[in-house]
């Protein structure tokens, strides 16, 4: 299989450079599909195309009816930085190994696409509702993509796969349906606390059975439809705000070792920070690095389970 560099070299000669301009005009919805483009695997062959320039706006920021449709394109290895999608759709496209840093989407549907090993570092892979529409990611492969510090917020993620996510991926206030996470998940945060966009704790179903949490956390969502990894250092707390309040009351009456003080700080945050009362909490405690702190948290929540809930 050609490397990304080899794919990009196809566009170096002057005639190909003219094609790049025509393709850019087409993909931004400002002109027709250029003649003479090849086909690979049933998709228009745009592998390696360098479309980097100033940020490209695709669609109309003020009119969702003027969105642009991308369908059956192979953009593997392409340079597609700073794209701005407003409405429209992306279907049956491949972006494997492509550079998509700074990608932002408003009310866009991305369906049956692959972003394997793509660079997707962006703060706006989901942006909440836009003209009554939210961004949808359906049957999308994000396996081994660079999602470092990337953010999905207020969007729908349905039947997507995430293998070995990079550090600090944030999924916040999203509806997550039947997604699969595998491999080491390093500093992943999945939050359904509805701080930015309305979301129900029940709007989360996922399979983490073949994943490993490393400094990762799920908070605010119900875990009823979640398969968690068989991992000894996981702490799972149902309806965690009330449980944290009970744990906090117990900890406050105990002699304070340094580990207890650290646990008290964390539990106080969970007890007082805004969160749905029926939301759950799951995180890895990192017991190998801090066995005393992990034990203090386990003791506090074990006593919270023994205390009757208020009311």
- In degrees and rounded to multiples of 5, residue 21 shows phi and psi of -65, -40
Which residues, including other chains, have CB under 8 Å from residue 86's CB and lie 6 or more apart?
57, 58, 59, 60, 61, 64, 66, 67, 106, 107, 108, 130
Given a cut of 50, the residues of the chain with pLDDT beneath it are 311
User: In the prediction, which pLDDT does 311 show?
Assistant: 44
Strand boundaries in 75-215, DSSP class E: 83-86, 89-91, 104-106, 109-114, 136-141, 151-153, 156-158, 161-163, 170-172, 175-186, 189-191, 204-214
User: For residues 188 and 213, is the Cβ–Cβ distance under 8 A?
Assistant: yes
pTM over 0.75: yes
pLDDT, tens digit (0-9, with 9 covering 90-100), for 96-152: 999 999 999 999 999 999 999 999 999 899 999 999 999 999 999 999 999 999 999
Closest by CA to 105, choosing from 157, 144, 146, 54, is 157
Task: Report the C-alpha gap between 251 and 25 in whole angstroms.
Answer: 63
User: In the prediction, which pLDDT does 2 show?
Assistant: 82
């Amino acid at each position: 299989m050609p490397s990304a560099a080899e794919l990009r070299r196809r566009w170096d000669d002057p005639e190909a450079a003219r094609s790049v301009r025509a393709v850019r005009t087409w993909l931004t919805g400002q002109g027709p599909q250029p003649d003479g483009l090849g086909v690979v695997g049933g998709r228009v062959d745009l592998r390696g195309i360098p479309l980097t320039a100033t940020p490209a706006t695709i669609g109309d920021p003020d009119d969702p009816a003027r969105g642009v449709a991308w369908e059956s394109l192979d953009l593997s290895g392409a340079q597609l930085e700073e794209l701005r999608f407003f409405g429209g759709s992306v279907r049956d496209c491949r972006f494997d190994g492509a550079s998509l840093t700074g990608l932002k989407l408003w009310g866009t549907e991305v369906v049956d696409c692959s972003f394997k090993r793509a660079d997707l570092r962006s703060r706006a892979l989901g942006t909440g509702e836009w003209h009554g529409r939210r961004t949808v990611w359906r049957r999308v492969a994000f396996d081994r993509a660079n999602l470092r510090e990337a953010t999905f917020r207020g969007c729908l993620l349905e039947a997507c796969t995430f293998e070995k996510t990079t550090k600090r991926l944030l999924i916040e206030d999203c509806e997550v349906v039947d997604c699969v996470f595998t491999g080491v998940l390093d500093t992943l945060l999945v939050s359904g606390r509805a701080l930015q966009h309305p979301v129900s704790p029940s709007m989360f179903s996922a399979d983490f059975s073949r994943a490993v949490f490393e400094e990762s956390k799920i908070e605010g969502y119900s875990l009823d439809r979640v398969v968690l990894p068989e991992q000894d250092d996981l702490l799972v707390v149902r309806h965690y705000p009330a449980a944290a309040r009970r744990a906090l009351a117990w900890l406050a009456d105990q002699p304070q070792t340094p580990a207890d003080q650290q646990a008290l700080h964390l539990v106080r945050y969970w007890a007082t920070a805004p969160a749905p009362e029926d939301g759950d909490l799951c995180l890895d405690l990192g017991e190998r690095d801090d066995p005393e702190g992990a034990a203090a948290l386990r003791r506090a929540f074990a006593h919270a389970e023994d205390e009757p809930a208020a009311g």
